[in-house]
Amino acid sequence: MEALAQQLENITIAEGASETKGEGTTINETGPIAGGASKKKNKKSAGVPANGETKAEVNPNGAGIDDDNDEDDDEDEDESAAAGGAASTGAKKKKKKKNNKKKKKVQTEPPTIPVSVFFPSKTYPEGEVCEYKDDNLWRTTDEEKRALERQNYDIYNDARRASEVHRQVRSYARKNIKPGMTMTEICEMIENGTRTLVEANGFDSGIAFPTGCSLNHCAAHYTPNAGDKIVLQYGDVCKIDFGVHVNGRIIDSAFTLTFDPVYDNLLAAVKDATNTGIREAGIDVRLGEIGAAIQEVMESYEVEIGGKTFQVKPIRNLTGHSIEQYKIHGTKAVPIVNNGDPTKMEEGEFFAIETFGSTGRGIVRYDMETSHYARAYDIPKIPIRLPRAKALFDTINREFGTLPFCRRYLDRVGEDKYLLALKSLCDSGHVEGYPPLVDVKGSYTAQYEHTLILRPTRKEVLSRGDDY
């Protein structure tokens, strides 16, 4: 018994010595770097099976690596693991921070995200801001004029929201309108995008007037009626003219699409003329002077089509116009020829500066089937006698007010068999029809248009974009 007790005592002393040796192990923040405890952990991590058999690793060169390495190797592995752990932790933190960043929102194709999503603050971007010239330069720093602008901020912001919708919709349209599409498909592409992006809601926001897609010698006011089968061709010159409104603040802007480069000079002439009109516009500027500047620029261009050279002519009986709330055509017309009109532009007015160039006579007339209509601004006091016409007029008032509409829009709100009633309303003066406007057959016409506002301190070209 005494021998057995002595043996147990020796074993206890030996284990105590082993524990004392383990107490000398040094540990940093990321784990052990020396000591017996470290070696035991390394052997387990090196892949020693639970049954105690030694498992060999194979390096890329095919040489076996024995787990029973010396202490120096174990210590090196521990230090590498510690450094790797720290680097791994840092990488994870960095990656997590990167993932927390919000991705920039991008418009879908076709456009389906309302512009309000891109601007959660509801502050929409300014258009192109231009200084006034000459005697109006003082306005830029005048405190009274700046205060007046602050008072009108909501009006400007509504117009800027409509402008942003126009830019995003036309960006998609310009890339995706191709020969072979029907005119109805083109218009529905634009109108569906506009309704979605502006979040169409009655008179609060929506389409300002029917989408124009006039072709070749037709300069304006053509949109397809139901059943129209016209298809866009490679050799066509197509004017895309559409409008957006927010709280009745209308953005009216247009561009011309061609696929054959033979028309490039025609488009360049009209674009230059429109930009000239924008440059000349300003508070107290006479409208006739703007027309003279536009005409001079337009007529300085020539275009060669089919071996014949044509001087680009401004279409003298088409004009730009002032824009009022819920009223696309205000009381002032901006000519594109020198007509001597002494009327002046005034502070606070919205204007659509639009120019039309033609290889034909430079004069348009009514032709083709009417598609554009609008309720009269001043409703006549003549009573509407036909019950069907009265019901149709109620629909027009409820759905469109004074904003222009087309037959497709009447179809969309559920009206049918309305042609006789619509004609009756036009005959009585309650509704006005706007037939397509055409130059001579065989000629080609182009259009560019922007909406601007004459703010108290500067003018702002609201619909300006990177495209035109």
Which residue ranges make up the annotated binding site for a divalent metal cation? 241, 252, 321, 354, 449
Round the CA-based radius of gyration of the chain to a whole number and report it: 38
**CA 157 to CA 119: how far, in whole Å?**
12
Contact 251, 243 (CB under 8 A): yes
Active site residue 329: yes
**CA 374 to CA 326: how far, in whole Å?**
11
**CA 432 to CA 366: how far, in whole Å?**
14
Strand partners, 359: none
Residues making up the binding site for substrate: 221, 329
Question: Residue 241: which H helix or E strand, with range?
Answer: strand 237-246
| Closest among 336, 334, 318, 338 to 438, alpha carbons compared | 318
Q: Is the peptide bond before 387 cis (omega within 30 degrees of 0)?
A: no
The residues, any chain, with a CB within 8 Å of residue 335's CB and separated by 6 or more, are 287, 288, 290, 291, 294, 316, 319, 320, 341
Active site residue 241: yes
Of residues 252, 324, 349, 439, which has the active-site annotation? 252
Of residues 158, 324, 349, 354, which has the active-site annotation? 354
Biggest distance spanned by C-alpha atoms of the chain: 134
The residues, any chain, with a CB within 8 Å of residue 468's CB and separated by 6 or more, are 255, 271, 448
Contact 221, 354 (CB under 8 A): no
3-state DSSP assignment of residue 442: coil
Report the 10 Å Cβ neighbour count for 50.
Answer: 6
Residue 83 has φ and ψ, to the nearest 5°, of: -65, -40
**CA 223 to CA 372: how far, in whole Å?**
7
Residues making up the binding site: 221, 241, 252, 321, 329, 354, 449
The residues, any chain, with a CB within 8 Å of residue 216's CB and separated by 6 or more, are 236, 237, 443, 444, 445
**CA 142 to CA 341: how far, in whole Å?**
30
Of residues 166, 217, 245, 321, which has the active-site annotation? 321
Of residues 329, 372, 430, 450, which has the active-site annotation? 329
Question: Residue 98: which H helix or E strand, with range?
Answer: helix 71-99
Structure-token pair, residue 266? 């025609």
Of residues 164, 241, 280, 349, which has the active-site annotation? 241
3-state DSSP assignment of residue 461: strand
Would you mind telling me the total number of residues written for the chain in this entry? 468
Q: What angle do CA 356, 359, 365 make, to 5 degrees?
A: 60
Positions marked catalytic: 241, 252, 321, 329, 354, 449
